[in-house]
Amino acid sequence: MPRAPAVIGNLVESAMGRPAQLLDAREPAPGFLELELHAEPPPGGWHPGHEIQIRATPTQGRRYTVRAVGVTDSGSERITVLAATDADGPGTMWMRRLRVGSRTTVLAGRHRPLREHGSRRLYLGDGSALGTLDACARDGNASIVAVEVPAEAVGPLTDRWPRYRFLSATGAPGDALQTWLEQAVGDGEVETLDGAVLLGHAQSIQRQRRVLTDSLHLPRQAITTKPYWATGRAGL
C-alpha cells in the first residue's frame, strides 16, 4: 500500500493495524531518525528485519524495517525503526510530527525473512536500507557491509557501527558504492564471498549486480535484491 485510495487504506489498516506508542525518538546522525515504539505484535511476534508500513497520509503509505526488538522496563515488547530522512518525503514528515507518548498505528503481518544465500555475504545499500542491513548482518561476522550515506553522517555512524564501512555519498546516487565495489573486486577483497544482499536505490542495485555476476562470477540466484526507491520517483 505505498499509494492507494483512502478507502483501501482504511480496509488495510483495519485488517493489519497495530496500535503503537512512541517511547523515544533520537537522531543518531544527520539525516537519520531512530524511533522506539511499543506496538502490539502481529501473529508470530516481532522480529529484527520485520517489514512494517505506516500511513503517511490517507492515500500514501511508506515501508520501514524493524531494526531491533527488545523489552521495556515494564516488560512489554518494543521495536526500533531507523529511517533515513534526507529525502524529506511523506514518511519523514509523518515521523517528525510524532512526539514521545504519541499514539499511532503501524501495519504489519507475519514476519517474512529476507531471502539470503551463502554464509559469507556482501551487504550493500544506502541510508534508506541501513536499518534492514543492520537487522540482517549483525550476526554475520564473516560478512562485509558497505553503506553509502551523507558525508556528515559517516563519522557518527562509524562510531556506532565500527564493523560497517560507511562511504561518503558523492555525485549521483550509488557512485560511491560502485567505486568501492569495483576496487574491492579488483583487490580480491570480496573474492571468497558466496552471497550478496543489495538494497536501496534501484538503478544502483542493477549496476552492483552486474559487477558481481560479470566480475566476481557470483550466480544471480545467490544475490538478493530489494529496491526501496528509484530516481525520478517520490521520496520516502
Beta sheet of 165-168, edge-to-edge order: 165-168, 144-149, 121-126, 195-201, 223-229
The helix/strand/coil state of 135 is helix
What are the start-end ranges of the H helices in the chain?
6-16, 90-97, 130-137, 154-160, 175-187, 202-214
Q: Is the pLDDT of residue 183 over 70?
A: yes
C-alpha cell, 163:
564493523
Q: What is the pLDDT of residues 66-123, one digit of tens each?
A: 999 998 777 778 999 999 998 778 899 999 999 999 999 999 999 999 999 988 999 9
78 near 37, Cβ under 8 Å? yes
The domains found in the chain, sorted by start residue, are 6-107 (2.40.30.10), 121-229 (3.40.50.80)
Q: Is the pLDDT of residue 235 over 60?
A: no
- The mean per-residue pLDDT over the stretch 42-65 comes to 94
- The mean per-residue pLDDT over the stretch 203-228 comes to 95
Compute φ and ψ for 231, nearest 5 degrees.
-60, 135
Give just the sign of the alpha carbon dihedral 174, 180, 183, 189.
negative
Q: What is the pLDDT of residues 8-51, one digit of tens each?
A: 888 989 999 999 999 999 999 999 999 999 999 999 999 999 99
C-alpha cell, 93:
514528515
At 199, is the pLDDT very low, low, confident or very high (cuts 50, 70, 90)? very high
Compute φ and ψ for 82, nearest 5 degrees.
-110, 125
pLDDT at 171: 86
pLDDT at 99: 94
pLDDT at 231: 86
C-alpha cell, 134:
543492520
Q: What is the pLDDT of residues 145-166, one digit of tens each?
A: 999 999 999 999 999 999 999 9
Contacts of 117 (CB under 8 A, 6+ apart): 194, 195, 221, 222, 223, 224
